[in-house]
Structure 1
Amino acid sequence: MAACIAALPARAQVWVPAWTASPAPDRKDGTPDKPVQFANQTVRQDMRLGTSAKALRFRISNELGVAPLKVSALSAQLAGGKGKPLPVTFDGRNDIVVPIGAALLSDPVPLSVPAMAEVALTVYFPEPTIAVVRRTPLRVAEGKVAAVADTVKLSYLQNVVSAVYAERATKPTIVVALGDSITEGATATRGSHGQWPELLGTRLQQVCPDQFVVLNQGISGNKVMDPGRSHSALARLDRDVIAVSQADQVILFEGINDIRHGGAPEMVPGRNADDMILAYRQIAQRLHQHGIKAYAATMTPFGGSERYEPVSAKTRTTLNTWMRGKDSGFDALLDFDKTLRDPTRPESLPDNITRDHLHPNDEGYVRLANAIDLSLFGCRAK
């Protein structure tokens, strides 16, 4: 007997990523006597969405976990206490255990959100927990509470949310920033959304409303080729870009952590230019296989930083020259080196846009975002 299959009603909407954060191994944010990150605590994370939404879904990640992840009492609302918190469930359940190596996607939450608005997700951790998604600004309260107040000081810690998906009528063009701490925005003012990918997203929203989303897949300490504080860009490309982001265009902006020496006492030399070119080409080719455009961003200066030395400086110059050439294999170039370098000291950042001679401050991030030609992505002012 032939099986009778009833067609489900078609949905006119699509689900697109509106915010992301890459999974990252435990950064040891705890203390020696309390190595876990959360234990009997409620955590609130405010995430600014890159597009408007008619409903939301949250992706809870334990992909790099070493133990099952137990979370409960999840709720979401517009940040700032606007509206009633709505439960975030998974197949109708508000208490879940995410297996090791897995991620769970929530049921749709009927929360309407305008573009560039903040959504607050509150999660209770009933047991000692090590969260394995990159650091973001969080508010942490002791015990199980219904809401974490705005007055709770922001902390910069790892959490468990790796993506927020938005339901909308059509898919926008999605741009992914893949990089290290400069892309993550580790030195931006906490809670300011002052990272250059977020600032770029704001510019695109102002000029071409609801046509683009910029996702930040930067991780502090990340390298292109080798593992370190996190999986390399080569290793995480499929998970963080191809599988999760629905990317149309990717900006690759990293390499400084690869080419600098390993620091005292070992002083291990960094990667050479030939190694790096191989890795860059691999990333561009793998993105092209999936119909994704790949943009290279030149490495910014780090003269005067703690691990600056002539060999790695020469490698940076060699790689930037190669990126500016015609045979890099990338679809376009963003010359961040030219944007940020001190014209009188081209191996250094201007003193007024950095504290450590490596990372830009808020003003430096603004310069990066404002220097990008929006027409590169297909956004043109009318």
Structure 2
Amino acid sequence: MACVAALVLSAGPVRAQTVSGGPVWVAAWTASAAPDRKDGTPEAPVLFNAQTVRQDMRLGTSATALRFRVTNELGVAPLHLDGLTARLTHGQGDAVPVTFDGRSEVVIPVGAAWISDPVALTVPAFGDVSLSIHFPEATQPAVRRTPVRIVEGRGEAPDSARVVRRQNVVSAVYAQRDSAPTVVVALGDSITEGATATLDAHREWTSLLARRFEATCPGQIVVLNQGISGNRLMDNGRSHSALARLDRDVLALPQVDYVILLEGINDIRHNGDPTRPGRNAADMILGYRQVVSRLHDRNIRVMGGTLTPFEGSERYEPVSEGTRQALNRFIREDGVFDGVIDFDAAVRDPDKPEGFREGASRDDRLHPNDEGYRLMAESIDLARFGCRPA
């Protein structure tokens, strides 16, 4: 089984000491801002209009109170919201109003993100919280796709409402707790987002890793998922590149200690013409060095994830595969990263290493399935993040 290679910098102790002066606020759940994906058609775009949208979010830590971060950073029009309420998804008790400086109806300007007033909800680690938002007018959200439930008009969507994967407007939930945990941000594309895991079942590798941390060193480490389907390291596509979104999706979060970087497969594949491969290794290495340098400036350690195989996928060709192999050698051997997570070794076929092992990928031969995500999560050495049995 593959595991994290030795760190260049020694792994410090898990930061779980009590902070003087009282409780602290930490990110407990995240979803990256992403431009409107233009789902639907120009004549009938997919949007919310006079509807209530319920989003269930599983928190990566316990909380004595919550704040919700609602974003219009990548929106194209003011974001009009009202009737926000929060509750424990599977608990008792009434829904609690969510306000902004006491206001229950707000219009968030283009380019801005607002954080709500504290909400009096006590949540256990890995507890599910539901946030319901009424959209009084036609709205095109600008956050990556997440599982949501939708009902017409005002009112909470029941558990029986169908779960769909749609863009929404919630980009983070902050949890109040008595001590500051170690915070790990996973930065990547659809493989990190978990777009091909079973819907709303928390089987993406980041969720499984979080469960492993909690079982081994309870309450000490929080894992945040900042993956976006189709994301690239160097170039904008359906979302801003990793380089372009680094400030918004990592550096703007409080108290980040580690980043796991798994980016590049979308850069190196061709865009429909096999005679025109994607980015070369030299370009990608420059991008990796830039990400690491900027994160090191903030004393954030960076774990490099090797790129998983893609032989048999629709955009596979030998030049791109050669680039993947070159990048994985760089990630494993160059020493620019503080540690290595060998996702490639975890999921590749030992007899045909350019492709996934049997039973670990979707039919597209590019994305892991639930089993592939399990192998990825199990390949990570928890001790490299300071996590040891409590």
- The interval holding the TM-score normalised by the smaller chain is over 0.9
TM-score, normalised to structure 2, is 0.93
Write the letter of the residue equivalent to 1:258.
Answer: D
Secondary structure of the corresponding residue to residue 368 of structure 2: coil
Residue equivalent to 2:301: 293
Kindly report the root-mean-square deviation, in angstroms, between the aligned alpha carbons of the 2 structures: 1.3
Write the letter of the residue equivalent to 1:175.
Answer: V
Write the letter of the residue equivalent to 2:331.
Answer: M
Residue equivalent to 1:23: 33
Residue equivalent to 2:337: 330
Q: Distance in 1 between matches of 2:93 and 2:34?
A: 32
Which residue, 76, 84, 109 being the options, matches 1:99? 109
Residue equivalent to 2:186: 177
Q: Distance in 2 between matches of 1:254 and 1:165?
A: 26
Q: How do 1:123-272 residues align onto structure 2 when only pairs under 5 Å count?
A: 123-145=133-155, 147-264=156-273, 268-272=276-280
Residue equivalent to 1:318: 326
Structure 1 gaps, min length 5: 1-9
Q: Deviations over 1:199-231 (max 9, x none)?
A: 111110111111010000000000000000100
How far does residue 11 in structure 1 lie from its aligned partner after superposition? Answer: 5.3
Moved more, 34-43 or 111-120: 34-43
Contact 1:258 1:271 in 2 (8 A): yes
Residues 1:306 and 2:314 are matched in the alignment: yes
How far does residue 82 in structure 1 lie from its aligned partner after superposition? Answer: 2.7
Secondary structure of the corresponding residue to residue 375 of structure 1: helix
How far does residue 36 in structure 1 lie from its aligned partner after superposition? Answer: 4.1
Change (3 A) 1:267 1:72: farther
Count of paired positions: 370
Q: Distance in 2 between matches of 1:100 and 1:21?
A: 18
Q: Which runs of 4+ in 1 moved over 6 A?
A: none
Secondary structure of the corresponding residue to residue 347 of structure 1: coil
The percentage of counterpart residues that share the same residue type is 61
Q: Deviations over 1:30-71 (max 9, x none)?
A: 344321410111100000000000000000000001100011
Q: Distance in 2 between matches of 1:362 and 1:65?
A: 32
Residue equivalent to 1:283: 291
Write the letter of the residue equivalent to 2:318.
Answer: P
Structure 2 gaps, min length 5: 1-19
Change (3 A) 1:144 1:34: farther
Which residue, 357, 369, 388 being the options, matches 1:380? 388
Residues 1:108 and 2:115 are matched in the alignment: no
Contact 1:80 1:150 in 2 (8 A): no
Q: Distance in 2 between matches of 1:257 and 1:138?
A: 26
Q: Distance in 2 between matches of 1:65 and 1:214?
A: 26
Q: Distance in 1 between matches of 2:233 and 2:21?
A: 39
Secondary structure of the corresponding residue to residue 375 of structure 2: helix
Change (3 A) 1:267 1:63: farther
Identify which of structures 1 and 2 has the higher relative contact order when contacts are C-alpha pairs closer than 8 Å and 6+ apart: 2
Moved more, 232-241 or 35-44: 35-44
Change (3 A) 1:140 1:210: same
Write the letter of the residue equivalent to 1:275.
Answer: D
Q: Distance in 1 between matches of 2:41 and 2:320?
A: 34
Change (3 A) 1:348 1:229: same
Change (3 A) 1:144 1:30: farther
How far does residue 329 in structure 1 lie from its aligned partner after superposition? Answer: 1.2
Q: Deviations over 1:51-106 (max 9, x none)?
A: 00000000000000110001110000000353210000000011111100000000
Residues 1:59 and 2:69 are matched in the alignment: yes
Secondary structure of the corresponding residue to residue 121 of structure 1: strand
